[in-house]
Amino acid sequence: MGYMITLRRIRKKDIEEVRNLALKSWRFAYKNIYKEKTIQKMILDYYSDKNFEKEFKDIKKGKAEFIVAIDSNKIVGYAHIAYEKRMWDVIRIYVNPKLLRKGIGSKLISKIEFFLKKKNAKKYTIHPHVKNKIAINFYKKAGFVREPKRDNGWNSPCFIKHL
């Protein structure tokens, strides 16, 4: 079955659907890493209305982009990149666990890179959880290379990709 994925910038009306997909994705990605209570708390924190307000302001300022992937009028993935500490960094990229390995993540990466090239960025980073092997393998396949000197603590290895 082919997927007709369309990509567009997030809208305020998408927030609840993104939150629901985040919870589903986190339960899949982190089930052997965090307890359910911790996952729920992190989703409430990271995907709070206050955080989304900041993200929409950063998008307006050109300091962030947040893309949603849509199939059959449902959000099936999303990617958020922001300019922090003089570097573009992927804050989050998730795909519905039932739709992994269907090219959705690759389309989101391509859209991010299109955005970054318009910003004249030369490289960008991502910091997946050290135990999130699915994500790490995806990033390696997408051309990211490990860069330990930029690690964010013991459980967030840095991967960098040059454009």
pLDDT at 133 over 60: yes
Amino acid letter, 65: E
Q: How many CA atoms lie within 13 A of 65 on its CB side?
A: 21
Residue 1 confidence (pLDDT) above 60: no
**Domains of the chain by start residue, with CATH:** 6-162 (3.40.630.30)
Write down the pTM of the prediction.
0.94
What's residue 84's pLDDT?
A: 85
Please tell me what DSSP assigns to residue 98.
Answer: G
Question: In 2-151, at which residue ranges do the beta strands (DSSP E only) sit?
Answer: 6-9, 64-71, 74-84, 87-95, 123-126, 145-146
Bridge partners of residue 79, in order along the sequence:
67, 93
Q: Distance of CA 5 to CAs 91, 107, 153, Å? A: 22, 9, 35
Q: Does 152 have pLDDT greater than 90?
A: no
pLDDT of residue 2: 59
Work out the average pLDDT over 77-96.
95
Residue carrying structure tokens 């893309």: 67
